[in-house]
Amino acid sequence: MVPLGQPSQQSGLGIPQIDRGYANLGESKLNTPFLQLNQQGRLIDGHKFPLNETPIVKTLHWPDETACAAFAQGLALCPALAQAVVYLHGDLGAGKTTFTRYLLQALGVTDRIKSPTYAVVEPYEVTTGGQVLAIWHFDFYRFNDPREWEDAGFRDIFASRGLKICEWPEKAKGILPASDLDIVLSVNTDSSRDVRLLAHSPLGRDLLA
């Protein structure tokens, strides 16, 4: 994988590259001109590029937090992250905030990374290789007023470039834009974590590559 901030080694930073080697993509999609995709890799009518009916799924096992940190560090190297929407699922205590902390630290965030449970969103900005990456860490646990979506500027955030990582996306179901990658965490009796990764778009697929 190519580290963020070194786009010269990768054509089209973060823009999904569709190739014939990707078996899950139907022939008709392959013939779709790229001009129909906007900078976010979405169709110009606002919908995700239709990858397939079924997401690409990977499963992992994290024996401890070190394994969580190692995965986060690997993911942080992926250029597609610069415009990804990532949902984090799991019960209270599953490790959503912990994973986000490791990811943001790996991306270069040096500020204290607070859980945004009360603020709903915490913004960050890092500069790597001369490029600015905006990061938005959401926690929708206490989100219960759809008007806040407009009033707090969440619509604008999701329309802008940057990484959006969301805890408790279920609480903003119906408003929240579709994700590129879902990460589902579950805790085992020995405190290890079982992890399911589901990619829902070409961008999400790039994150799992």
Ligand X SMILES: Nc1ncnc2c1ncn2[C@@H]1O[C@H](COP(=O)(O)OP(=O)(O)O)[C@@H](O)[C@H]1O
Contact 172, 143 (CB under 8 A): yes
Strands 163-167 and 181-187: unpaired
Binding of residue 191 to ligand X (CB under 6 A): yes
> Residue 138 and residue 190: Cα distance in Å, rounded?
28
Binding of residue 96 to Mg ion (CB under 5 A): yes
Q: Which residues contact 134 (CB under 8 A, 6 or more apart)?
A: 123, 124, 125, 160, 161, 162, 163
Question: Stretches 7-15, 28-36, 78-86, 93-101: which one binds ligand X (CB under 6 A)?
Answer: 93-101
Binding of residue 97 to Mg ion (CB under 5 A): yes
Among 48, 89, 96, 205, binds ligand X (CB under 6 A): 96
Binding of residue 65 to ligand X (CB under 6 A): yes
Quote the least distance from Cβ 161 to ligand X, whole Å.
26
Name the residue among 124, 68, 58 with its Cα closest to residue 94.
68
Among 12, 24, 61, 64, binds ligand X (CB under 6 A): 64
Question: Stretches 58-66, 105-113, 122-130, 153-161: which one binds ligand X (CB under 6 A)?
Answer: 58-66
Among 41, 56, 62, 137, binds ligand X (CB under 6 A): 62
Judged by CB, which is closer to ligand X: 72, or 84? 72
Contact 106, 124 (CB under 8 A): no
Name the residue among 171, 172, 178, 180 with its Cα closest to residue 201.
180
Helix (H, G, I), strand (E, B) or coil at 3: coil
Cβ-proximal residue to Mg ion, closest one: 97
Among 48, 193, 200, 205, binds ligand X (CB under 6 A): 193
The values of phi and psi at residue 98, to 5°, are -60, -45
Binding of residue 101 to Mg ion (CB under 5 A): no
Interface ranges with ligand X (CB under 6 A): 62, 64-65, 68, 90, 92-98, 167, 191, 193
Interface ranges with Mg ion (CB under 5 A): 96-97, 115
